[in-house]
C-alpha cells in the first residue's frame, strides 16, 4: 500500500506506518492539490500520485514538506526562493565549487554556429543553471546585462525561466537570437547602461560576468597567438562603449558599478544579483576589482556573500620564475548581493 506520510525518527527519512497519520496526510495532500497548486513545483504536480507528506518529527498537522524519493530530500512548501529540496539547497550553499567547461556544452554551442567560438570569454550554461535554480523558481525572470553569446539565456531556456539581457557587440547579439529565439523581444543590442530606458522590469534575479577591465587587451602573447591562428576574436570589440576598452581602472570601475546600480530599479524587492568577476593584475601589482566592485555596490545593495569558482584544469605558467612572486589566478568570485528595502 502507498505510504502518504514520511518522518525522520533517526538519521534517515522513513515511511511512517501509523495508519491514522497516513489517512490524515492523504487528506492534507488532497487539499493541497485542490486548493494550493501555486505552492507546488511542476515536477511534483506532474507525479502527484507519487507524492507524500513529510515532517521530520512525525507531526502531520504541522507538516509543510512533500517528497517523492526520500533520497532526493523534501521540498518545503514555504520555500520563497526556489524549487529545490532541502538537500539540494544545502549542497549549493558551499562557499566554493570547482567547474571546468563541459564538452557537452561546447558541442551544443558548436552545433549551433561555428562562429560561437569567436567569443573570447564565455561561461557554461550548465554552471549558470545551478545559480538560476537556486535563486529563482520556474517561470521567474532573469537578467544578464553582459550577455555575450547568451550562456545565461540558454540556462534560462533549459530551466524554464524567462531571460532578459543586453549585449553591445552585434555579432554576439545575433548568435544569442539564433540560440534562444524565444527571448528575442527581451534581448537588446545596446549598452547595458541603457537598461533603465528599456522595456525590462520586474526582474527576479540578475546574473552576469562583465569584462574583467581591459584584461583581454593585455592578454599574454600566447593567448593571442593561439586564437589569432584560428581566426578567433582576441577582444570583445573596438567600441568605445565596450567596458573592456577602458584603460583607466577608476573610470572602468565607476562605469561598471553604475550599470549595476541602475539595475537596482528594474529588480523586484528581495531579488539577488550575482556578479562573476576576478581580481586582476597589471604592471606587477594587483587590482582588487572583485572587492572594489563589491564595496561600491554595497552602498545600495546588501552584500550577502561570495562563492568562489575554481577552474582546476587550466595549465599553470611559470609567471615570475625565478625572480618574484606572481600567481596563476584560477579562481573567480561570484559576488552575491540583494535588493533589500
Ligand atoms: C565576459 S563577457 C560575457 C560572456 C557571457 N557570460 C557568455 O557566457 O557568453 C562580457 C560581454 O560584455 C559585453 N560588453 C562590454 N561592454 C558592454 C556594454 N557597455 N554593454 C553591454 N555589453 C557590453 C562584451 O561584448 C562581452 O560579450
State the distance from the centre of ligand 1 to the C-alpha of 257, rounded, in angstroms: 15
- Which pLDDT value is given to residue 217? 77
pLDDT at 226 over 80: no
Residues with CB under 6 A from ligand 1: 119, 121-123, 146, 148-149, 151, 166-169, 172, 191-192, 209-211, 236-237, 241-244
How many residues are recorded in the chain? 341
To test the pocket of ligand 1, the residue of 113, 148, 252, 276 to mutate (highest count of ligand atoms within 8 Å of its CB) is 148
pLDDT at 16 over 90: yes
- Which pLDDT value is given to residue 25? 98
Question: What is the pLDDT confidence band of residue 151, given thresholds at 50, 70 and 90?
Answer: very high
From atom 24 of ligand 1, which residue's Cα is the shortest distance away? 236
Residue 300 main-chain phi, psi, to 5 deg: -115, -45
Sign for the CA dihedral angle at 138, 139, 141, 147 comes to positive
Mark residue 284 as left, alpha or beta (left: phi above 0; alpha: psi -120 to 50; beta: remaining).
Answer: left
pLDDT at 146 over 90: yes
CA distance 280 to 176: 28
Per-residue pLDDT tens over the stretch 71-124: 999 999 999 999 999 999 999 999 999 999 999 999 898 888 888 777 778 899
Question: What is the pLDDT confidence band of residue 288, given thresholds at 50, 70 and 90?
Answer: very high
Residue 109 vs residue 167, higher pLDDT: 167
- Which pLDDT value is given to residue 240? 92
- Which pLDDT value is given to residue 229? 72
Q: Cβ contacts of residue 32 below 8 Å, gap of 6+?
A: 39, 40, 66, 77
- Which pLDDT value is given to residue 237? 83
- Number of C-beta neighbours around residue 166 at 10 A: 24
| 198-216 average pLDDT score | 95
- Across 180-194, 203-217, 224-238, the highest mean pLDDT is recorded for 180-194
From atom 27 of ligand 1, which residue's Cα is the shortest distance away? 148
Residues 338, 267: contact at Cβ < 8 Å? no
**CB under 8 A, 24+ apart: contacts of 81-90:** 81/134, 81/135, 81/136, 81/137, 82/133, 82/134, 82/135, 82/136, 82/137, 83/41, 83/42, 83/43, 83/133, 83/137, 83/138, 84/133, 84/134, 88/133, 89/134
To test the pocket of ligand 1, the residue of 210, 212, 238, 309 to mutate (highest count of ligand atoms within 8 Å of its CB) is 210
Ligand 1 atom index nearest CA of 239 = 16
Mean pLDDT, all residues of the chain: 94
| 204-220 average pLDDT score | 88
Question: What is the pLDDT confidence band of residue 299, given thresholds at 50, 70 and 90?
Answer: very high
pLDDT at 221 over 70: no
State the distance from the centre of ligand 1 to the C-alpha of 193, rounded, in angstroms: 12
From atom 16 of ligand 1, which residue's Cα is the shortest distance away? 242
Question: What is the pLDDT confidence band of residue 219, given thresholds at 50, 70 and 90?
Answer: low
| 165-170 average pLDDT score | 97
- What does the buried/exposed string (b/e) look like for 264-301 if buried means 16 or more CB atoms within 10 Å of the residue's CB? bebbeeebbbbbbbbbbeeeeeebebbebbbebbeeeb
From atom 3 of ligand 1, which residue's Cα is the shortest distance away? 148
CA distance 289 to 215: 11
CA distance 56 to 63: 8
- Which pLDDT value is given to residue 255? 98
Distance of CA 134 to the CA centre of its chain: 8
Residue 114 vs residue 280, higher pLDDT: 280
State the distance from the centre of ligand 1 to the C-alpha of 167, rounded, in angstroms: 6
Question: What is the pLDDT confidence band of residue 272, given thresholds at 50, 70 and 90?
Answer: very high
- Which pLDDT value is given to residue 220? 64
Alpha helices by DSSP H, the chain: 19-35, 42-45, 86-92, 103-112, 125-135, 151-159, 170-179, 221-229, 249-263, 289-297
pLDDT at 274 over 90: yes
Distance of CA 179 to the CA centre of its chain: 18
Amino acid at each position: 500500500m502507498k505510504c502518504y506520510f514520511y518522518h525522520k525518527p533517526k538519521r534517515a527519512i522513513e515511511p511512517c506506518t501509523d495508519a491514522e497519520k497516513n489517512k490524515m496526510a492523504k487528506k492534507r495532500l488532497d487539499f493541497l492539490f485542490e486548493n494550493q497548486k501555486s505552492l507546488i513545483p511542476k515536477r511534483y504536480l506532474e507525479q502527484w500520485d507519487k507524492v507524500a507528506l513529510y515532517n521530520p518529527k512525525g507531526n502531520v498537522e504541522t507538516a509543510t514538506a512533500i517528497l517523492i524519493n526520500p533520497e532526493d530530500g523534501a521540498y518545503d512548501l514555504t520555500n520563497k526562493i526556489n524549487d529545490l529540496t532541502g538537500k539540494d539547497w544545502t549542497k549549493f550553499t558551499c562557499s566554493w565549487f570547482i567547474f571546468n567547461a563541459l564538452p557537452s556544452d561546447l558541442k551544443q554551442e558548436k552545433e549551433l554556429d561555428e562562429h560561437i567560438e569567436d567569443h573570447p570569454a564565455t561561461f557554461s550554461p550548465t554552471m549558470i543553471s545551478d545559480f538560476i535554480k537556486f535563486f529563482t523558481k520556474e517561470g521567474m525572470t532573469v537578467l544578464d546585462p553582459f550577455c555575450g553569446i547568451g550562456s545565461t539565456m540558454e540556462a534560462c531556456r533549459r530551466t524554464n525561466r524567462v531571460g532578459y539581457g543586453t549585449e553591445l557587440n552585434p555579432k554576439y547579439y545575433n548568435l544569442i537570437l539564433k540560440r534562444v529565439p524565444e527571448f528575442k523581444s527581451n534581448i537588446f543590442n545596446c549598452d547595458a547602461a541603457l537598461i533603465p530606458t528599456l522595456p525590462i522590469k520586474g526582474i527576479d534575479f540578475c546574473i552576469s560576468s562583465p569584462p574583467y577591465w581591459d584584461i583581454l587587451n593585455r592578454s599574454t602573447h600566447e593567448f593571442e597567438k593561439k586564437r589569432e591562428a584560428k581566426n578567433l576574436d582576441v577582444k570583445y570589440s573596438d567600441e568605445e562603449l565596450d567596458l573592456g576598452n577602458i584603460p583607466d581602472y577608476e573610470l572602468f570601475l565607476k562605469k561598471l558599478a553604475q550599470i549595476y546600480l541602475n539595475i537596482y530599479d528594474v529588480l523586484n524587492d528581495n531579488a539577488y544579483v550575482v556578479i562573476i568577476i576576478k581580481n586582476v593584475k597589471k604592471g606587477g601589482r594587483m587590482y582588487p576589482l572583485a572587492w572594489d566592485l563589491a564595496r561600491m555596490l554595497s552602498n545600495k545593495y546588501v552584500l550577502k556573500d561570495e562563492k568562489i569558482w575554481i577552474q582546476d584544469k587550466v595549465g599553470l605558467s611559470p609567471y615570475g620564475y625565478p625572480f618574484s612572486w606572481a600567481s596563476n589566478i584560477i579562481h573567480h568570485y561570484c559576488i552575491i548581493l540583494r535588493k533589500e528595502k
